[in-house]
Amino acid sequence: MGETTCRLVGFDIRRAACVYEQLSTWFIFLLSFILEGELLAMGMWSLGLGAVGAAIAGIFLANTDFCLTKPAPATLEYLDNAELKTIGDDEKTFKARTLWEKSGAVEATGLSSLKPQLEELGVPLYAVVKENTGAEIQDFRAHFAGDIFLDEQQSFYGPQQRKMGGLGFIRLGVWQNFLRAWKAGYQGNMNGEGFVLGGVFVIGAGEQGILLEHREKEFGNIVDNAAVLDAAKKIKKEE
C-alpha cells in the first residue's frame, strides 16, 4: 500500500513537472510573440512619424526659396539678338532689338493696366510668348492691350531657363496667384508646355540697357507696377 502510494505520488510529481515545463514553454512563446508584435507596432509607428515628418519638411521647403533655381541676369546684347515672329497670316521674323531701339519698351504679359501711363511716356508695351498652341494667343488677346510676338527659341526665358514642376502646386503663393488670376477672368488650359517661368523687362532705347528685370519665382508671381513705371520714366528716347 505504501509502495503504491509512493509510485502514484512520484507519477503525479513527474506529470506536474512536465505540465509546468510545457506551460512555461508556451508562456515564453506567447510573451515573445507579444513583444515582437509591440516592437513591430513601434517600428510601424516610427515609420509613420518619419513619413509625416518628411512630408511636413517637404512642404516647408517647397514654400521657401531654398529649392528655387536662381535666375541668370539677361544682358542687352543677349535680348537684342533674340529672334521673334509676328503672329497672324503675314508671319515675319525679326530681331527683338527693333522693338526698343528708338523708344524703349516694356515686355510683359500682365501689365495692360499700365498701357495709358506708358502711352503718355511714349513707351510701347509688348508681350513675348513661347508657343502658339490652339486658341491660346487668341484668348490671351482679350486680356492684353499690346502687341504679341512669338519667341520660339525662348530667348526671353533665358539665358538660364527655369522651370517649376509639380513642387509648385504645394506652394501657398502659387494657389493665391491662381485665385487672383481666376477672379480677374483668366482661364488656363492643358495645352502646350506650362512649367517654364517668365518675367518682365523694361528696356531703354538704343544702348541704354535693361532698366528693370523681374523674373517669376513661382507661377503667377507678378512685378510691382510702380517699379515698372519708375523704370519706364528713365527711358531716354532716341531721335
Tell me: pLDDT of 229 over 90: yes
**Residue 94 cell numbers, joined:** 525679326
Tell me: pLDDT of 199 over 80: yes
Its pTM surpasses 0.85: no
Tell me: pLDDT of 105 over 70: yes
Give me the mean pLDDT over the 64-77 stretch. 74
Give me the mean pLDDT over the 127-147 stretch. 80
Of residues 68 and 158, which shows the higher confidence score? 158
Residue 174, Ramachandran bin (φ over 0: left; ψ between -120 and 50: alpha; else beta): alpha
> What pLDDT does residue 149 have?
92
| C-alpha–C-alpha distance, residues 75 and 133, integer Å | 29
> What pLDDT does residue 145 have?
81
Give me the mean pLDDT over the 129-151 stretch. 81
> What pLDDT does residue 2 have?
43
Tell me: pLDDT of 142 over 70: yes
| Contact residues for 94 (Cβ-Cβ < 8 A; gap 6+) | 83, 84, 85, 86
> What pLDDT does residue 48 have?
61
| Boundaries of every domain in the chain | 1-62, 76-232
Question: CATH code for 76-232?
Answer: 3.40.30.10
> What pLDDT does residue 45 have?
57
**How far does Cα 192 stand from its chain's mean position?**
17
Q: What rounded mean pLDDT belongs to the chain?
A: 73
DSSP per residue over 171-239, as a string? -HHHHHHHHHHHHTT----S-S---B--EEEEE-STTS-EEEEEE-SSTT-PPPHHHHHHHHTT-----
Give me the mean pLDDT over the 200-204 stretch. 93
Tell me: pLDDT of 204 over 90: yes
Confidence of residue 95 (pLDDT cuts 50, 70, 90): very high
